[in-house]
Structure 1
Amino acid sequence: MPASSRIQISILIASIGRATLARTVATVHASARQLGLPFEIVIADDSGEDRVAGILRSKGLLHPEVVIVASGTRNISVARNLTVEHARGETLAFVDDDEWVGPDWLHALVRALNASGADAVFGPVTAHYPEGANRFIVWGDPFTKSPGPTGEPVRYASTANCLVRRRVFFDLGLRFDPALGRSGGEDADLFRRLQKMGGTLASAPEARIDEEIALARCRPRDLWRRSLRKGQTFARREMSPGLWSRMRFFVGSLLRAMLTLAASIALLSLRRQNGMRMLVKSWVNVGKMREPLRLPLNAYY
């Protein structure tokens, strides 16, 4: 689809029809209106039951700027790609349907993109845990994401909070990999491919977003599976082909898993948060060991 001379920013949301979507749309709409540039909000309804329109209609949020496209594949990559195909903006902002933003969020992203000249900029996400969440997970706070300070390499590239130039998708031809659409990691994979093509990433530390973490995600087993997936998708991106390369990668990941596990045990009695974060890192390293063994990716969505 050719870029529109009218629309400057497309805000893209892939949704499975969670009730939290209403707050997401209300806050991003308010932030975009405050910025003052022509915008649209493109939502891929991946519920398979046309939930999105009903949720927004019930809250009076079917604004003229809102565009809903049907997906229904329960594949997050397919849903995200669908929003990209329908986007008319010169820049594309991504958020999730369980997040909410402040009035200055979009302005901060645009400001960082213009100042850095990067192809994509990323803002921090602060996780909010529900009552009854496992206390070890709350201590470790694994769902809070920080891309790092301005001017330093981006530590965490995620579609949970980012602004991307249109050229990334329509000149370079990048899309989210459907093979990762049920396991996750599709966003990190896309931005890693962008970097390998010479693209640049930057931080937007002032573009803060808040995320509501569902109670179902606060179980140790769920975090274990997510960590394994994260490690395995990393290995899939970074591991060189060939038997010896796979063996070296496996051994290196095994050693890192043992070291981070030992560090987590030592830290848990001193600094609970650091200990839990180190424990999660050990799980991620275990996940890295799965790829050299050619084990299947765990489905998450």
Structure 2
Amino acid sequence: MKKIAICVCTYKRVNLLDKLINSLIVTREVFITNRNKEDFNVQIIIVDNDPEMSAQSKVNYFIKDNSFINYYCESKSGLVMARNKCLEIVINNEYDYLAFIDDDEYVDKNWLDCMYKSLITTGAHIVFGKVETVYPPGCEEWIIKGGFFDKLQYADGTKNIISATANVLLDVSILRKEKEYFDLTFNTTGGEDTYLFKSYLKKGYQSVWCQGGIVYDLVAAERLKEKYIYLRAYTSSYTYSEIQQKLGEEHLMTSLTKGIIKTIIPLLYYPFVLKGKKEKKVSVKKDFFSGLGRFKVKRISRY
């Protein structure tokens, strides 16, 4: 029997868990219906990173009628701590495959079916799937047109790409063999997934893109601000530079040079968009803050 764990790390987002867990129950049922259910054990694992266990009562509501749902609490603060708790659970309980999605998402009914098929048919060790952005009612048009919250997409079957734990399925055998967990360096900044997956690819493991494995990302209304867009651009660039240097793929001077170029170009270009549409102006300023992140002047916590 093959064991699959669908892991979700959550922190004080109880209001989003209904939609998420219901969608996981459905995709699990579709997956098992399409196969001999005696051959698979699919478990949903919720790891609560709130020491006050705010998600427990909500998850317990679902556990009453669904014995395949499991609740754990990781009281040590930080996204890496919560994700590593998932890895610990999966390895200790001898799972074969591990899927991650975020607590502000929900999945398509065919999500697990498509992701698993992609893993098996391609022979890849890691499968990344499509993430579609869902905006809240009343979202301003310039935000949608600017694509500031859109995720990168690839052609189905594209190999050796890097994405995130927002939508991933991986073979647990590589975790057992490498004994490498998410790096605590990124516990409050994010980027731990990019670092881990890049390190696996450097060691020769294969990844593949599954266009049919769709997850929907609910953008929180409080994030729909220019300040957040610039902050995310800065922190993403900061952590990416840190990742590249930590993996030995980029020297400090190279990162600084790229930072100089990425800040100068927007400064030169900005006067030409002053009278243009808001999404264009924000996009240019976002590029400037992305360039600033390369200098690694100040480490900013996001979690």
Q: What TM-score results when the alignment is normalised by the length of structure 1?
A: 0.86
Among residues 50, 64, 68, which one is paired with 1:65 in the alignment? 68
Matches within 5 A, 1:25-104: 25-36=21-32, 37-58=40-61, 63-87=66-90, 88-104=94-110
145 and 11 in structure 1: CA distance in 2 versus 1, 3 angstrom threshold: same
- SS of 2:211's equivalent in the other structure is coil
Answer yes or no: is 1:17 the counterpart of 2:23: no
* 1:111 partner amino acid: K
241 and 209 in structure 1: CA distance in 2 versus 1, 3 angstrom threshold: closer
What is the rounded CA distance, in whole Å, between the counterparts of 1:197 and 1:284 in structure 2? Answer: 29
Q: Which residue of 2 aligns with 1:209?
A: 215
Alpha-carbon distance, 1:53 to partner: 2.0
Q: Is the 8 A contact 2:134 2:218 kept in 1?
A: yes
Residues 155-204 of structure 1 deviation map (CA, whole Å, 9 limit, x = unaligned): 55100001011022211112111221111111111111111222221101
Q: Which residue of 2 aligns with 1:197?
A: 203
Among residues 295, 298, 301, which one is paired with 1:299 in the alignment? 301
What is the rounded CA distance, in whole Å, between the counterparts of 1:123 and 1:91 in structure 2? Answer: 15
RMSD, aligned α-carbons: 2.8
Q: Which residue of 1 aligns with 2:185?
A: 179
Residues 41-78 of structure 1 deviation map (CA, whole Å, 9 limit, x = unaligned): 11111122112221234467762111111112230011
Answer yes or no: is 1:250 the counterpart of 2:256: yes
- SS of 1:8's equivalent in the other structure is strand
* 2:102 partner amino acid: D
What is the rounded CA distance, in whole Å, between the counterparts of 2:53 and 2:280 in structure 1? Answer: 42
* 2:48 partner amino acid: D
After TM superposition, the structure 1 stretch with the greater mean CA deviation from structure 2, 98-107 or 57-66, is 57-66
Residues 55-112 of structure 1 deviation map (CA, whole Å, 9 limit, x = unaligned): 2344677621111111122300110110111124211010111111111000110111
- SS of 2:208's equivalent in the other structure is strand
Q: Is the 8 A contact 1:228 1:284 kept in 2?
A: yes
* 2:124 partner amino acid: A
What is the rounded CA distance, in whole Å, between the counterparts of 2:76 and 2:290 in structure 1? Answer: 28
128 and 264 in structure 1: CA distance in 2 versus 1, 3 angstrom threshold: farther
Tell me, which stretches of 5 or more residues in structure 2 are unaligned?
A: 33-39
- SS of 2:212's equivalent in the other structure is coil
* 1:22 partner amino acid: D
What is the rounded CA distance, in whole Å, between the counterparts of 1:152 and 1:124 in structure 2? Answer: 12
Q: Which residue of 2 aligns with 1:3?
A: none
Alpha-carbon distance, 1:131 to partner: 3.1
What is the rounded CA distance, in whole Å, between the counterparts of 2:268 and 2:130 in structure 1? Answer: 29
* 2:301 partner amino acid: A
* 1:80 partner amino acid: R
Alpha-carbon distance, 1:134 to partner: 5.0
Corresponding residue pairs, total: 291
What is the rounded CA distance, in whole Å, between the counterparts of 1:156 and 1:40 in structure 2? Answer: 26
Alpha-carbon distance, 1:20 to partner: 0.6
Answer yes or no: is 1:167 the counterpart of 2:173: yes
213 and 150 in structure 1: CA distance in 2 versus 1, 3 angstrom threshold: same
**Percent sequence identity over aligned pairs:** 21
Q: Is the 8 A contact 2:162 2:198 kept in 1?
A: no
Answer yes or no: is 1:289 the counterpart of 2:295: yes
Residues 115-156 of structure 1 deviation map (CA, whole Å, 9 limit, x = unaligned): 221111111111112234454433322222234113435555
